Amino acid sequence: MCLCPMERRQRLNSKNIPPKMNYTIRCGSTREPIDALALHVFARAYRDAWLLLHACEPLGQHMIEELDLMMEFTGQSASRV
């Protein structure tokens, strides 16, 4: 569903605030936090794929060794707008 800019602003300004992050992204080897847009997109896609395969939220640490990446999911995410 595509929204015009005015509809987007109204949704953001209403009580339907976009969901907050329910995960952290870290370097697998150093455990340093990583804040890169591409990895946030990846983490959300990973969560959606997990939900489709397992029918439950991903919880705890999920390590992807090939990327030296660790995502830690905490609790249930907010429902989407």
Per-residue model confidence as pLDDT tens digits over 46-74: 999 999 999 999 999 999 999 999 999 99
Task: Kindly report the pTM of this predicted structure.
Answer: 0.68
Return the pLDDT at 15.
Answer: 54
Domains of the chain by residue range? 18-73
If you average pLDDT over every residue of the chain, what do you get?
Answer: 81
CA–CA gap between residue 68 and residue 24 (Å, rounded): 14
Return the pLDDT at 5.
Answer: 56
Return the pLDDT at 79.
Answer: 45
Of the two residues 72 and 10, the one the predictor is more confident about is: 72
